[in-house]
Structure 1
């Protein structure tokens, strides 16, 4: 029975040790399978991606307002992104949502029309709405407290801008513009002509070469009317399809593109814009991957990044992990040896005997000896206190042998 218990204990220890070592070995191998575009040969890093303000600078001002785009220009943005729809009387204006509820005070001005599509309002009605109060009250990015009193006052008085106002800001500053164009619902007076109406406004107020034309509807017609527009696609496709469609830029979510795909498109002069990238570490990855531009909410932060947050050569990466593995293996081995040594009560050096004897393991052995000492005690009757009468009770005494 004792041999069986010993073997079972040994097998269990070996199994636990084997599991531990296999997990540890797997962790050591993990770095070999890790990939990062920021592990590159020296001298192969390209220029930093240009910054396109997502609805302007929405952390510094209400989104899609003149103030927001001016802040994006001041922060160093080289492009401005927005969303365009067309009013019921044919005026293209800026609005991201299909309704006006989130970013205006329509519930106060037109309480019975809050559910209507934004394009079902005339331009005169749209100008009656405030487009800045919501930003101060909701503080979507937690940045309102950092704004100056003048900026808060300016934000509070923002209104819905027209496409003309937006293009004028871009034209004055020489910035690129990128916009989504939303089709009005059926029954809208401009549901069939909204593209031509918008294109006419663009041609009248900005150099066409500054415009990244994103709408895919009637692209061939638009290209024929104004070949100087930078045709931009929001979908990946084969190089042949893109070149046939005169596409010069892709506008895609950052999670859908890899370094290899970006390089493939760049080889045929198709640049890539990634959205929405607002964290410095994500901007670093886009930079290392070779993206030509990014759309961002935090243009005032990313514009201050002069180099990637992390960048190393493959040799430096390998050396870092080899040193990490060696140090961790040494520490783990040292801990095992220390634990094994203490379990057996062995001194580490000749002068450590006294200290070790007073340690916790010595105390444990002392207490265990006391238990065994008590277990070896026998109980005897005290003959000197033997009663003379059988009826007298007798209490035994404890003596040690």
Structure 2
């Protein structure tokens, strides 16, 4: 994830107390329930989500990273989705391959090494583990289908982020097709195992129109005044931990989302115990972390 630059962040934090809307007003602004979407929080404390898998301990967005999260006892993981030249969806945070693979060595004449300029078969040749630690040499970039199957095999749950959808027209429908193929759009998965998030308001609106039953989170820090509108198409506001306050969290949770349930907030990327305790003190519903074990120890949540 990256921070959403914006005046919206400043607006959200300036005068939050003065901008807080009464609960009754907020509820009236949001639509009535159109289907049951169950909150993912499974304990009294904030849910702990392993960011890009347990990415402080294994190469991010790989099967090794979600296996590591599983071995550490974390049921919720987060990932990032991009699209290849030939239309395959792969798990990759950046829109180019340089940082987390050996693409410059394998394809030295293909700068700037954008994901969208390579086929799935070409990306499958890359080493996505050596940059992190030599013991992960040979680790591959998984396709979304491979990733979903492994999450299912691990009995895990997923916060799925579609990265830069403006670069990939139609990626929302493509992602839905993979989720359907891998069994992730049945009632059991949609009800309690899946959250779809993005920094793109337009993309979130598209997903809501296509599958209103899927739980969705907007990545960013909209102003309190903007929250009633967001509450018409997302169930969560997922903000960087440095942009939130107790008042802002309370303002979010005073709203009701498109399924008639209180809005939630997951905050990211929290890797220090002090930051985790502060966020938990604000009352956030979830904390996304590269070091989920540090957060778990700090807030006493066993996921």
What corresponds to 2:286 in structure 1? Answer: 293
Preserved contact between residue 77 and residue 303 of structure 1 (Cα < 8 Å) = no
**Helix, strand or coil: the match of 1:57?**
coil
Aligned pair 1:233/2:218, yes or no? yes
Q: Kindly report which structure 2 residues correspond to 1:148-297, keeping only aligned pairs within 5 A, or say none.
A: 152=135, 155-172=136-153, 173-183=155-165, 185=167, 191-205=168-182, 206=184, 207-209=189-191, 210-215=193-198, 216-235=201-220, 236-237=222-223, 238-245=226-233, 247-268=234-255, 269-297=262-290
Q: Deviation per CA, 1:18-48, whole angstroms, max 9, x where unpaired?
A: xxxxxxxxxxxxxxxxxxxxxxxxxxxx932
Supply the distance in 2 between the matched residues of 1:218 and 1:296 (Cα, whole angstroms). 24
**Helix, strand or coil: the match of 1:200?**
helix
What corresponds to 1:127 in structure 2? Answer: 124
Query: Cα distance, 1:66 vs. partner?
Result: 0.3
* TM-score between the two structures when normalised by the length of structure 1: 0.56
What corresponds to 1:380 in structure 2? Answer: none
Query: Cα distance, 1:195 vs. partner?
Result: 2.0
Distance 1:278 1:133, change over 3 A: same
Query: Cα distance, 1:184 vs. partner?
Result: 6.7
Q: Deviation per CA, 1:305-349, whole angstroms, max 9, x where unpaired?
A: 4549xxxxxxxxxxxxxxxxxxxxxxxxxxxxxxxxxxxxxxxxx
Unaligned runs of 5+ in 1: 1-45, 138-151, 186-190, 309-401
* TM-score between the two structures when normalised by the length of structure 2: 0.73
Supply the distance in 1 between the matched residues of 2:237 and 2:231 (Cα, whole angstroms). 12
Preserved contact between residue 70 and residue 156 of structure 2 (Cα < 8 Å) = no
Query: Cα distance, 1:232 vs. partner?
Result: 1.0
The structure that has the greater radius of gyration is: 1
**Helix, strand or coil: the match of 1:250?**
strand
What corresponds to 1:76 in structure 2? Answer: 73
Query: Cα distance, 1:218 vs. partner?
Result: 4.0
Preserved contact between residue 80 and residue 177 of structure 1 (Cα < 8 Å) = yes
**Helix, strand or coil: the match of 2:60?**
coil
Report the structure, 1 or 2, having the larger helix content: 1
Query: Cα distance, 1:93 vs. partner?
Result: 0.2
Supply the distance in 1 between the matched residues of 2:296 and 2:232 (Cα, whole angstroms). 35
Preserved contact between residue 218 and residue 236 of structure 2 (Cα < 8 Å) = yes
Supply the distance in 2 between the matched residues of 1:100 and 1:174 (Cα, whole angstroms). 26
Supply the distance in 2 between the matched residues of 1:276 and 1:100 (Cα, whole angstroms). 22
Preserved contact between residue 204 and residue 218 of structure 2 (Cα < 8 Å) = no
Aligned residues: 241
Q: Deviation per CA, 1:77-122, whole angstroms, max 9, x where unpaired?
A: 2321121110111110011122211111112211111413112100
RMSD (CA atoms): 2.1
Supply the distance in 2 between the matched residues of 1:306 and 1:275 (Cα, whole angstroms). 15
Aligned pair 1:93/2:90, yes or no? yes
Which structure is higher in RCO with an 8 Å CA cutoff and minimum separation 6?
2
Distance 1:178 1:192, change over 3 A: closer
Query: Cα distance, 1:271 vs. partner?
Result: 0.7
Distance 1:305 1:86, change over 3 A: same
Supply the distance in 1 between the matched residues of 2:107 and 2:240 (Cα, whole angstroms). 36
